[in-house]
Amino acid sequence: MTPARPRINRLFRFQWEPAQQAHVLLYPEGMVKLNQSAGEILKRCDGSKSVAEIVADLESAFNASGLAAEVDAFLLMAEAQNWINWNAS
């Protein structure tokens, strides 16, 4: 079984906002401004990557290690906020 892959809920649009100098989630009549790590994680939630692949990608992009816990915690919160759903295998 392939692990589930997170993707952004179709009710939201994710984009870079030059005026905010931040990634944001836009939704009907509202906007969430994201901090840098949230933006970098969500940028990778395209429905094609597993959580492990997202972690590996971030660690390589930022030359860091041990990001799994932070990514897990963020995705849990993002799911509770309805920002993401999961593509099953």
Stretch that binds another protein, among 24-32, 36-44, 48-56, 67-75 (CB under 8 A): 24-32
Query: Which stretch of DSSP H or E encloses residue 8?
Result: strand 5-8
Stretch that binds another protein, among 9-17, 34-42, 56-64, 67-75 (CB under 8 A): 9-17
Question: Within 13 Å and on the Cβ side, how many CA atoms surround 24?
Answer: 13
Say if residues 25 and 83 touch (Cβ distance below 8 Å): yes
Residue with tokens 């593509």: 87
Report the residue from 3, 11, 60, 76 that binds another protein according to the rule CB under 8 A: 11
Report the residue from 1, 29, 63, 66 that binds another protein according to the rule CB under 8 A: 29
